[in-house]
Every structure is written in structure tokens, then in C-alpha cells.
Structure 1
Amino acid sequence: MSARQDTLFRYLNMLQLIPRAPHYRATSTLQALLEERGFKVDIRSIQRDLEKMSGHFPLLCDKSSRPFRWSFDPGFKSNLPAMDTATALTLVLAEEYLTGLLPQVAIDQLGGQFHNARKYLDSLERNSFAHWTQFVKAIPNGKALIPAPISHDVWQWVTDALLNGYALDVQYLSRAKNQVKTYVLHPLGLVARHSVTYLLATVNEYDDVRQFALHRIQTVKQSQADLRTQRGFNLDDYIAQGAFGYPVDDGAVNLKAKVRSDVAWMLSETPVSHSQVLSEPDENGWVLLEAEVPNDQQTQWWLQGFGSAVDVLEPKSWREAIHKQARKILGLDE
């Protein structure tokens, strides 16, 4: 590789390593990260490179301390790599779908890519994509509530702490007590569920994992306390155990239910579990559904949403609970 090519690739790697404001990276940190990628260069050379590139990119330099710290302007939108039609349509679909699931501050993080995708499609005036908005829609499954708003600072601090491994000092509005509490949180994971995004963390000196809705975090900053890691914690296992499904217990149940043909067709394409089995329709058009599912209230609510198109047979406790709920609803008319 020629010296010119080596410099070009170093520049590209350096640009990839610089975060958007309000976060930053010092030249010494950039030097260490570049060395991990195989580029050996001294700090003075990195500083000169950054000053050259700041003439072509919206780089911000904090010179209040040494080594200097660098970041991109928060509104910077990159056009690299070049857009193509398939990618643009995928991004538009992703934006429409995610807008109903993720907080606006998370959508804003991808705003540059979404903007470029729409701009690219808008530019195709001479072909069939000229009216692309008429052909691309994403519809959420079920009623999607408007995501709870999260401040930009909270999102930046939480995601950075989670990925870079440090504790957070937060003031948090407790839903149970309707009071603002001060905690030291030790981040373990981030989960977007319906219209609320949760930080999973241990609190202060305790070891139990708790869920904190990001929109209830009122202030946040990096804590001076050392991060307390949780050995053996696995996010997939945590979710699989029913942490977000209002579990009745830690086990599973064998679901048996009669379902109408249209429900059976949907489940044949999108099964309720990997163990799902559907019978042939009987003379009345009912299909027997058998599947192992979590013993949680969320699955029961999902079944209730089908109304008379689903008749739960087992577990008997679920059947009784659903019938009891139906009787309560009918009693509202009395």
C-alpha cells in the first residue's frame, strides 16, 4: 500500500472514531484506537490531520484542556456511502416502523440516514419512484401508542454508559411512590417494549436487576462510583424468563385452543412458538392449536384480543380467567 493510500484509510478510520457532540474523544484516545486498527501514528500527526479535516468536515475541537478533544457537529449528516434504491426504500420502511416503537430521540440518531433516503427517492422524478410515498408504508401489529418522550441528554448518557461501561447518577421519578429518587445505576441492558424504553440496571449496592423507564429519568450524569458488573447476566435469558411479560411463574404451559380458520392461517405463517402444532379443520371449521408458551399475562391478553375467534381449552386456569373477564365486560351493560 502506498503512503497516500495509507493516509487516506487512516483519515477514514479516524472519522469513524469521532462521535457527535456532546460526546467527544481526545487525541490520545484516537491514537490508541487507531493503533488497534493497525495505524501507528503520533499524537502531533493526529492533531495535524484533524485540523486539516476540519476544513472539510464540521469537526468541533475543545481546547480547554490537553489533549484536545474532538467531536462532530450534532447536526452533521453524512452521505457516505452512496445511496441506492433498495437501501433507500429499506430505510424509509424502517423509519415508519420504528417511529411507533422507539422514542423520538432514538429516531433522531438516524435522522441523517432517513433524510438522505427520502431525498434520494424524491430525486428519482423520471421513473416509477417519483411518487414513492404512495407505495411504501409500515403498519404496526396492534394499537401503537405514541412513544414516551426522552430527553436527548438522557439518551446520550445512558447509551454511552451502557457501551463504555460506567455507572450513572440519576434522579428518577418513581411511579409507585410518585416521588423523585436519587440512585446510582449500574447499566446492564436497554429494552424497547411497546412505546417505552427501559434501562436494566442494578441500584446502588444491591444485586437485583430492576427496570427504569428512560422517560422518567429527570437528570443524569456519570457517577464517580465504580461500575458494579453482574457476572452471568444475559439479556436474552432475562427476557425469556418473562421479565417483560408479567409472568405468573418462571415456567411454561401447554396451550390448547380452538381457533377459527383465519386465525389458524395467520398462525401457520407467524407461529406463537416453535413447538406450535395446528390440526386440520373439523366439520365446523375449528382448528386445534397446541403450543408451549410462557405462563404470563401478556399471552393471555393476546388470546383475549381475538374474541370469539379463539376458545381456550387449556390451561383451565387461563380458560376460567378469560371467561371471568368476559362476564365482567358483559356486566358493564347491566
Structure 2
Amino acid sequence: MEGQTTKGESLTIRCIYMLLALYERPRTVAELEAYLQEKGLAQVSRRSLQRNLEDLEGHFGLYREEREAANAADVWNLAQQDFEKLLELEDPVALALVIAEQQLKQLGPMTVFAPVQSLFERAREQLASRNTTASLWLKRVKVSAASHRLVGPELASEQSQRLLDVALRQVAIRLHYHPHQGDPAQVIRATALAVFYRGAVAYLIVRDHSNDRVRQLPFSRISEVREVVTEDARVGDFDLDTYAASGALAYRFGDPFRLEAVVFNSIRREIEDAPLGEDQELLELADQPHCRLLRVTVPYTLNLVQWLLARAAYLKIIGPDDFRNKFQEELRRALKNFESEELCVPAERNFGS
């Protein structure tokens, strides 16, 4: 009859469910009977279940524990390592999982991946016990972030979950915010709009009700958050994709521009195969054989400025004029701090002003 489960198919399904139940923990036949009933399987006698288990004994890691007394019920168990061979990953898949976990730790948040943490662990354990190309790759190839990243702050999981929850529901809130560690709390009434992670650092995006301004507040500086049911949420036209596209999440200083600079060979080697932009040009200079003229369209962000400042001794900014002047001013300010007894904090920002 079409759609009807045959006796053999029923037995197969029953045996699979019993093995899965025993993978969770040891059980008696009576406990397995209850487990199968919960799963909606056709009822069979305990004697049939006992026979099924005896037929499977010695396979897939299934065994009976020693009885504590002669009249005690059999307790069935699984040698998990033997059973997990059925679930074994292909080594390239295991390697991909391990590398993905390493990258995720750099980016955050790992709490999102808690449900698959056991899969990451199984992949690591599998490769550790092998001598395959994939396992050797893991031992002899290092994957790290392209630049320095901040270490994620220690956060109370309950508080973090509460902040994430109000952002997902976009509700009106009252929160206690501390500009610096140890500062008195500022009470802010706002609407929770979204959450973003800059590396491993989590930020709550809110609309401040006092001035309607959208702000980004680090989770680590919020000591208390409560939903305010007496106040309407002010989501307005906020859209996270539009907000991100505006550059608000990337410390954006302005529109992309065409950078022109003379760079030494050390920088040339760095960017020849990993260019700063798709239209990058590196042109020879007749009077400077160890340098190149760089022309490339770049995003006007903090990351770009920091990248250039870190290599300032090996490059010369040619243009555009506005960027060249600001870059020169940033170097002057840095030099001034080395030449002064005290830190000289600028009255105004240079980039982004």
C-alpha cells in the first residue's frame, strides 16, 4: 500500500532512534520504550526491543554495562568515539570548520555560534588525530587577522542578551551609560535600533530621545538597560543597511578619492598582489628606481589613514591637496607630542572635521 511503512523500514527507523537515544546517555529497555513513544513510533514489546539491541550489540559502539546486581535491568550504552565514526567529517570539511572558527573569533560574536560549538570541537579533535594533508595544513599554516584588532571586553552574558533583545524588538529604553570606566552613569532615554560588532566589540545603536541623534554605545559601557513601556519607540526611517552604506560604521571621513603617492619598495611589495583598490597603478620613476608612483581610488576611512600613518616613513603623499595637507598636519601633531613634555591634545579634529 502506497505510503505505508514496511516492517523492515520500521525496524530500521526504530534502531536509529535507539542509537541516537543512547548517544545522549545510557538507558534501560524501559527508558528506550518511553523514548520511542515520545518520538511517535509504533509501539513494540520490550522483548522485541531487547532482541533488537542484542542484534546490534558489538556494532556502532553499542554494549551492555555490567550489572550491579543479578536481577538488575540491562543498561545499554554507546562508546561515543566508535559511534561518532558514523558521523565523521571529510578532512577538508573539518579543516574549513576549524579555520572558520579561528576567523570568527577575530570578528565576533562567538555567542551566535554556540549551537555549533560541538561541531567545531569535533572537527579539531578529528584533525588532531590524523596525519592527512588537511591536518598538516592546520599544523603548518597560520591564519591571522590582516591588522590589529581589539580584544573583546568581558561582558555579562545576561546583560548582553538583554541589549541584543531590545535592539531586535526596537523598543524604547532607559539605559545607564558610562563615557569612561569609573565615570558616573549618564541616564539616556532612547530607542534601541540595532547592534553591530566592530571586530569583537559590540555596540548598541540607539536614537537618543533628547536630540533625535543616532548614537553607537559600546555594550561594555552600559551598566543597566530597561524597557520603557510608557514611551513610544522612535524608529523613524532608520534602516541598518542604509546606515552602514553611509559609512557610519566604518569611521568614514568622506567620499572615496584618488590617492597619489610615491612609495618605497617595501610598500610596493605589500600592495602589488594585495592592492589598495581595483584601479591601482604602480608606475616606474626614472629618478627613483627603488620607488613607485602609486595611483589608486581608496575609501576615505580611519582604516586607510591608520594604514598610511603606519608606513609614513616609506611613502610621500602627493595628492589630492586637501588629503595631503591633513596627512601632513597629523604627522606634525604626532611629532609635537614627542617633542613636548606633556601630551598636546588638538582643540579640533584633523580628519573628519
Instruction: Report SS of the residue matched to 1:139.
Output: coil
Structure 1 stretches lacking a partner, 5+ long: 9-47, 54-78
The one of 263, 266, 270 equivalent to 2:267 is: 263
Q: Which residue of 1 aligns with 2:197?
A: 192
Query: 2:104 touches 2:110 (CA, 8 Å); kept in 1?
Result: no
Q: Distance in 1 between matches of 2:331 and 2:211?
A: 42
Aligned residues: 263
TM-score, structure 1 as length reference = 0.63
Query: 1:103 touches 1:150 (CA, 8 Å); kept in 2?
Result: no
Q: Distance in 1 between matches of 2:159 and 2:87?
A: 30
The one of 272, 276, 281 equivalent to 1:278 is: 281
Q: Which residue of 1 aligns with 2:46?
A: none
Query: 1:170 touches 1:185 (CA, 8 Å); kept in 2?
Result: yes
Q: In the alignment, residue 213 of structure 1 is paired with which amino acid?
A: P
Query: 2:256 touches 2:298 (CA, 8 Å); kept in 1?
Result: yes
Q: Which residue of 1 aligns with 2:176?
A: 172
The one of 321, 324, 329 equivalent to 1:316 is: 321
Pair 50,313 (structure 1): closer, same or farther in 2 beyond 3 Å: farther
Which structure has the greater CA radius of gyration?
Answer: 2
Q: Does 1:116 align with 2:122?
A: yes
Q: Distance in 2 between matches of 1:185 and 1:175?
A: 16
Q: Distance in 2 between matches of 1:174 and 1:180?
A: 5
The one of 134, 142, 148 equivalent to 1:143 is: 148
The one of 88, 107, 111 equivalent to 2:94 is: 88
Q: In the alignment, residue 203 of structure 2 is paired with which amino acid?
A: Y
Q: In the alignment, residue 161 of structure 2 is paired with which amino acid?
A: Q
Q: Does 1:304 align with 2:290?
A: no
| Percent of aligned positions that are identical | 21
Query: 1:104 touches 1:147 (CA, 8 Å); kept in 2?
Result: no
What is the 5 A alignment of 1:6-17? none
Q: Distance in 1 between matches of 2:117 and 2:237?
A: 36
Pair 130,193 (structure 1): closer, same or farther in 2 beyond 3 Å: closer
Q: Distance in 1 between matches of 2:133 and 2:300?
A: 49
Q: Which residue of 2 aligns with 1:52?
A: 38
Structure 2 stretches lacking a partner, 5+ long: 14-33, 40-83, 341-353
Q: Distance in 2 between matches of 1:318 and 1:156?
A: 42
Query: 2:191 touches 2:234 (CA, 8 Å); kept in 1?
Result: yes
Q: Distance in 1 between matches of 2:213 and 2:141?
A: 44
Q: Distance in 2 between matches of 1:234 and 1:244?
A: 10
Q: Distance in 1 between matches of 2:159 and 2:170?
A: 14
In the TM superposition, what is the alpha-carbon distance from 1:162 to its structure 2 partner?
4.0
In the TM superposition, what is the alpha-carbon distance from 1:278 to its structure 2 partner?
0.6
Q: Which residue of 2 aligns with 1:254?
A: 258
Q: In the alignment, residue 281 of structure 1 is paired with which amino acid?
A: E
Q: Distance in 2 between matches of 1:281 and 1:313?
A: 15
In the TM superposition, what is the alpha-carbon distance from 1:175 to its structure 2 partner?
1.0
Query: 1:196 touches 1:213 (CA, 8 Å); kept in 2?
Result: yes
Query: 1:83 touches 1:117 (CA, 8 Å); kept in 2?
Result: yes
Query: 1:246 touches 1:297 (CA, 8 Å); kept in 2?
Result: yes
Pair 214,106 (structure 1): closer, same or farther in 2 beyond 3 Å: farther
Q: Distance in 2 between matches of 1:204 and 1:117?
A: 48
Q: In the alignment, residue 164 of structure 2 is paired with which amino acid?
A: T
Instruction: Supply the RMSD in Å over aligned alpha carbons.
Output: 3.9
Q: Distance in 1 between matches of 2:167 and 2:161?
A: 10
In the TM superposition, what is the alpha-carbon distance from 1:256 to its structure 2 partner?
1.3
Q: Distance in 2 between matches of 1:189 and 1:142?
A: 26
Q: Which residue of 2 aligns with 1:59?
A: none
Q: Distance in 2 between matches of 1:112 and 1:324?
A: 52
In the TM superposition, what is the alpha-carbon distance from 1:105 to its structure 2 partner?
4.4
Instruction: Report SS of the residue matched to 2:244.
Output: helix
In the TM superposition, what is the alpha-carbon distance from 1:304 to its structure 2 partner?
1.0
